[in-house]
Amino acid sequence: MRTTRILTAALLAGAALFTTAGAAVADTPGPSPSASSGDTPTEAGTGFRTATAIEQGQKATASASTGDYLYWQFPAGANQRPTVKATVQLPEASLRHGAATWQLDVFDGLRRHQACASGEPTQRAGAQDASVTLTCTLRTVRPWSERWANDPLPGAYYIRLTVADGPDQDHGLPVKTEVRADAKDVGGSRAEGGEVAPLHAAALKEPEDGWNGSWWSDRWAWTVGGAVLGALAAIGGYTLTRHPHRFRRPPAGR
C-alpha cells in the first residue's frame, strides 16, 4: 500500500515537472512575428556599410532601378532558423526586352556568403511576368562554432537583392521591392552551449530571446524526466527484491 502511495507521489511529481516545463515553453516569447514598432523602412542600402536595418517580421519596401544592388540587414539569435522572402514588382512588360534572373543572397555579419539550406534564392522572371518571389532559409544559427567553420552565428545578416542576369537594355528601369525576414525557433534538438559576441550587430535590435537564445530548452525536461524515471525504476527494482510477496497473488484462503 505504501509503495503505491510513494509511486503515485513520484509519478505526480514527475508529471508536474513535465507540465511546468511545457508551460515554460509556452511562456517564452517567440521570435516576435509582429514587433514592427514605428515606421517600416522604405529605403534600401547600396552596400554592406549602408544596409538598411530591419527587424524580424518587419516588412521593408524600397523602390529602385533594375541593376541596383539592394542591401538590408536583420538580426538573428542562436537557435533560430531565419527565412528571408523578397518580392520584386518588375517594370512594365512593354518596356522590358526579355526574361531576367533575379537573385537573393544572404551574408553573415562577417560578410561571408551563407548557404540557403532551402528555398528558391534565384528565379527566372519571364518576359510577361509582373512579379517574382525569392526565398532563402538559412541553416540554424549556432551559439558557438570553431573559428575555421562558417556556420551561421548570432548577429547581423545582410540581404542582397539584385538582377543576376538579363537584357542590358532593361537596366535602369524602375522596380519595387519588398523584403521580410522571419525566424523560427528550432527547439531543444538544436540547443547548444557556448557563446560568441554577436557578429557586427551594433546597428540592430537584439532578438527577444537575446543573441544567445534563452537558457531554457526542452533538454531540461528530458533530462529531469529521465532522472525521475531512473529513480522510480530503482525504487521499483528494490521493492521487487525486498518484498516479492506483494507482487504475487495473495494465497488462497485469506
Binders in 175-234 for another protein, by CB under 8 A: 188-189, 191-197, 199-200, 205, 208, 215, 217-220, 222-223, 225-227, 229-234
Please identify which residue in 68, 182, 185, 209 interacts with another protein, judged by CB under 8 A. 68
Name the one range near another protein by CB under 8 A: 13-21, 27-35, 130-138, 178-186.
27-35
CA distances (Å), origin 41, targets 56, 78, 197:
12, 25, 27
Neighbours of 120 (CB within 10 A): 12
C-beta of 168: minimal distance to another protein in Å? 7
Question: Using an 8 Å Cβ cutoff, are 121 and 171 in contact?
Answer: no
Please identify which residue in 2, 4, 26, 168 interacts with another protein, judged by CB under 8 A. 168
Binders in 139-158 for another protein, by CB under 8 A: 143-144, 147-148, 150
Binders in 90-119 for another protein, by CB under 8 A: 95, 107-113
d(CA 214, CA 23): 15
Name the one range near another protein by CB under 8 A: 17-25, 65-73, 123-131, 178-186.
65-73
Total interface residues for another protein by CB under 8 A: 77
The sign of the CA dihedral 60, 53, 79, 23 is negative
Question: Using an 8 Å Cβ cutoff, are 46 and 150 in contact?
Answer: no
CA 232 from chain centre, in angstroms, equals 37
Q: Which SS3 state, helix, strand or coil, does residue 83 take?
A: strand
Told to check if 38 binds another protein by CB under 8 A, we report yes
Please identify which residue in 241, 245, 250, 251 interacts with another protein, judged by CB under 8 A. 241
